[in-house]
Amino acid sequence: MIGVVGAGAFGTALAVALARDGRAVRLWGRDVTALAARRESARLAGVRLPENVTITAEIADLRGAEAVLLSLPMQALGGFLAHAGLQAERLVACCKGVDLRTLTGPAAVIAAACPDATVALLTGPSFAADIARGLPTALTLACADEAEGERLQHLLATPVLRLYRTADVAGAELGGALKNVVAIAAGVVIGAGLGDSARAALMTRGYAEMVRLALSLGARAETLAGLSGFGDLVLTCTSEQSRNFRFGRALGAGAGFDPTVTVEGAATARAVARLAAERGMDMPVTAMVAALVDGGIDLSAAIQSLLSRPLKAE
């Protein structure tokens, strides 16, 4: 049995994909009454939960799972683990971001709360709606323990959910966290009417910034160039499906945005701006997004801050 924590868009989509491929899945959520009654999530309209997905609000029902996928927003992960009493041998983070409290990624947050568990990360370019519809996707499964990583790769892959493996957990989680920040900035550029050429420039400079920080934190450049970094950056900066992109576009257009929608890049921009300051690193795209999110700068000043940077070698 595979456990999934978090009955939002991504957790439910993963539960559906694994169940369609024959796994028994237990999907935990804090308020699952409507989901259990309708067997269809409001976040994934038209997708019926297969029979072999059991929905539960009791965390003890996940005991004995071969692996538990943690599909909560990044900023909720540490608090959840501190209070939930979850016991599992293998915990797979499915969230993308940097924790504002500890300035670490999900793997360190899980390891601190559950020191005896094997920790892994599932990340890469994939919209929940695509996974739930059974469209083909390729993701990265990162685990520092190579044997456990291989075991999880086989446990969680399906014919349409292809998993590539890496032991570079830092690289995989930083790629997934930082691309959301760049996607907000790409949305700002489009929302402000600056055009596709400016977006391509922003994505490229944003990627350079992602790689710089990740390398300084011990990640490998190849990981950033893979699915979890470059792949997810392209998807998120260019698709209307992305919440981070749409949030940025609303900021750029001076429009409102539903505050209940999960936009991981907003808190992560603030966390990464602090991390960069601590390390004396220059991350202009992240700094601009963090300042915009905090309301510390207006849109024209934000755009000007990027355009007026000193001319230098690429």
Ligand X SMILES: O=C(CO)COP(=O)(O)O
Selected binder of ligand NAI within 65, 192, 264, 273 (CB under 6 A) = 264
* 38 near ligand NAI, rule: CB under 6 A: no
Whether the Cβ atoms of residue 236 and residue 242 lie closer than 8 Å to each other: yes
Whether the Cβ atoms of residue 72 and residue 53 lie closer than 8 Å to each other: no
Cα 74–Cα 78–Cα 79 angle in degrees, nearest 5 = 110
Q: How far apart are CA 26 and CA 86, in angstroms?
A: 13
The annotated binding site for sn-glycerol 3-phosphate is made up of 96, 124, 126, 179, 232, 242-244
Annotated catalytic residue, options 20, 90, 179, 249: 179
Q: 88-127 mask for ligand NAI (x: CB under 6 A)?
A: ------xxxx----------------------------xx
CB atoms inside a 10 Å sphere around CB 105: 28
The annotated binding site is made up of 6-11, 30, 96, 124, 126, 128, 179, 232, 242-244, 264
Nearest to 98 by CA among 296, 283, 311: 283
Q: How far apart are CA 139 and CA 156, in angstroms?
A: 11
Selected binder of ligand NAI within 38, 60, 79, 294 (CB under 6 A) = 79
**Two tokens, residue 88:** 């599992």
Closer residue to ligand NAI in complex, CB, 9/143: 9
Whether the Cβ atoms of residue 27 and residue 54 lie closer than 8 Å to each other: yes
Partner from ligand X, ligand NAI, none binding residue 235, C-beta < 5-8 Å depending on class: ligand X
Partner from ligand NAI, ligand X, none binding residue 7, C-beta < 5-8 Å depending on class: ligand NAI
* 179 included as an active-site residue: yes
Report the interface residues with ligand X, using CB under 6 A. 96, 125-127, 180, 183, 232, 235-236, 242-244, 264
